Amino acid sequence: MIIKLISWFRENRQATHDLIGLFFLFILTCFVAYIFDITGAIFSFTRRYQTYQRDELILVSVTIFCFYLTIFAVRRWIESAHRLRQSNTDSLTGLFNRRKGREILEREIGRATRYNRPLSIIMLDLDHFKEINDRNGHLAGDRVLSLISKTIQKQMRNLDILIRWGGEEFIVVSVETEQAEAQQVAERLRTAIEGSPHQNNVHPTGSFGITQLQEDDTLDSFLRRVDDKLYEAKSSGRNKVV
């Protein structure tokens, strides 16, 4: 839970900065209220106007200002988090999009390299998806993509990260995973897609490419190799793991 929270803070930097600012504003407000007994000043409103002290009015005004400033900060934090989430996720499936996926891959490559830990990725592509769109329409194709993304998520491990790479193409980032174990994960996903519920006489299958991070890999070389593996799976009959 703590690891996921730290990861969220890293991915939502602007929202985190607003939250930290809100926290310090709250501390400052509490400090001022304690030192200057603002509660007593607020209660002074029950007295007649002539008995008001200037310092009491100032302190009450500061308190009200801090209250509204706090509301503004909370609202900005919520809006910032919402905008950031929209920019990082695919609107159809709710998965991380390609832009965010590249950030995740760069981060995980750096971590795996720094700590000498295994990292594998699985790239999958739905077979003959263009024919599904041509035969049943794009709305049917969208429903298939949404169904497949949910099917994949149900079969994934907690460590795995699913990204919609583009169109009918997905990437699974398998952290702390050797290629042999990633092969088992991919085979489980392939079986789940093949056995997913059929809609509008659509029987989706998927082709899978797998590779493990190598010592001299960059992000581009890592992606290029897994893309070659996927091409090999599709050109050798589809609905298989390579």
Tell me the β-bridge partners of 161.
173
* DSSP state letter for 120: E
Using CB atoms within 10 A of its CB, is residue 25 exposed (0-12), middle (13-18) or buried (19+)? Answer: middle
Cα torsion at 160, 227, 186, 202 (round to 10°)?
A: 110
Rounded Cα distance, 179 and 217, in Å: 15
Task: Please indicate whether residue 131 is annotated as part of the active site.
Answer: no
Cα 190 to the center of its chain, rounded Å: 23
- Residue showing tokens 């082709």: 207
Q: Are 132 and 202 in contact (CB under 8 A)?
A: yes
113: number of Cβ within 10 Å: 14
Q: Which of 168, 176, 178, 232 is catalytic?
A: 168
Q: Long-range contacts of range 194-199, CB-CB < 8 Å, 24 or more positions apart?
A: 194/239, 196/147, 196/148, 196/151, 197/147, 199/140, 199/143, 199/144, 199/147
Q: Within a 10 A sphere around the Cβ of 175, how many other Cβ atoms?
A: 18
Active site positions, annotated: 168
